[in-house]
């Protein structure tokens, strides 16, 4: 795997997003390349590249059971516009039933630990199941989204999941992304027009006010660094 990682890093680091995705499809079968989309603007840009080029990449999203209706509408619209089929992974029902029975439906408001427990059950565990058998995990992360993500690299080795992680939009700026979306008529969540810059679960997301950080609307009652656990595992830049 060390040789594979080194080879991918050498090839993909200097390629454009579109060319990088194409190169992955030349090297691996569809079942080995998986793109996790949260239906955010970054994710929609990547889906645009995949759909426009008919790339054989598996797309999936995580349905936590607490999403906005606008997010479901976007899944439907995206599938139809690009001719793709976004697989949807759900949490284990027994996990959620146990959590709600023991702590109630809103335990995430009570402490960071409770919130991370909820995220783990609703997001991290389904993600691990979705990535089973994959060699490369594609994400829509951008470094300017948070201080935490500025330490990421375009190509990383996720030592916890034992998978190559490809962040093709990492160096894109917010303005570059917005210009691309407008120029290519990329479908986005209707909540973005209402001040929602980062959209997750409905009870954990609010619109931001002018001047606030783009992730201020996520878990706004916390002073944490605004991560759910999907991208907090140890990243090794070999």
By annotation, the residues acting in catalysis are 228
DSSP per-residue string spanning 190-206:
GGGGGT-SS--BGGGB-
The rounded distance, in Å, linking the Cα atoms of 135 and 28 is 8
**Sign of the C-alpha dihedral, residues 97, 103, 105, 108?**
negative
- The burial of 105, by beta-carbon neighbours within 10 Å (0-12 exposed, 13-18 middle, 19 or more buried), is given as exposed
Could you tell me if 192 and 80 are in contact, meaning their C-beta atoms sit under 8 angstroms apart? no
Measuring CA to CA, how many Å separate 105 from each of 126, 186, 203, 206?
A: 19, 35, 10, 18
Could you tell me if 5 and 238 are in contact, meaning their C-beta atoms sit under 8 angstroms apart? yes
């Amino acid at each position: 795997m060390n040789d594979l990682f080194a080879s991918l890093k050498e090839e993909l680091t200097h390629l454009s997003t579109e060319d990088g995705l194409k190169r992955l499809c030349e090297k691996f079968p569809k079942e080995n390349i998986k793109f996790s989309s949260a239906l955010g603007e970054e994710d929609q840009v990547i889906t645009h590249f995949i759909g426009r080029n008919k790339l054989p990449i598996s797309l999936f999203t995580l349905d936590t059971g607490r999403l906005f209706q606008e997010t479901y509408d976007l899944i439907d619209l995206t599938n139809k516009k690009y001719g793709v089929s976004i697989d949807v992974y759900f949490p284990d029902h027994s996990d959620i039933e146990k959590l709600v029975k023991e702590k109630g439906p809103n335990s995430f408001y009570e402490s960071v630990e409770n919130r991370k427990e909820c995220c783990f059950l609703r997001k991290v565990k389904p993600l691990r199941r979705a990535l089973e058998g994959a060699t490369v995990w594609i994400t829509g992360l951008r470094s300017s989204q948070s201080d935490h993500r500025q330490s990421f690299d375009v190509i990383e080795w996720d030592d916890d999941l034992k998978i190559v992680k490809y962040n093709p939009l990492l160096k894109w700026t917010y303005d570059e992304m917005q210009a691309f979306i407008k120029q290519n008529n990329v479908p986005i969540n209707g909540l973005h027009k209402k001040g929602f810059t980062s959209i997750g679960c409905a009870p954990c997301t609010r619109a931001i006010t002018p001047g606030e950080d783009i992730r201020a609307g996520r878990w706004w009652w916390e002073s944490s660094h605004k991560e759910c656990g999907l991208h907090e595992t140890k990243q090794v830049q070999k």
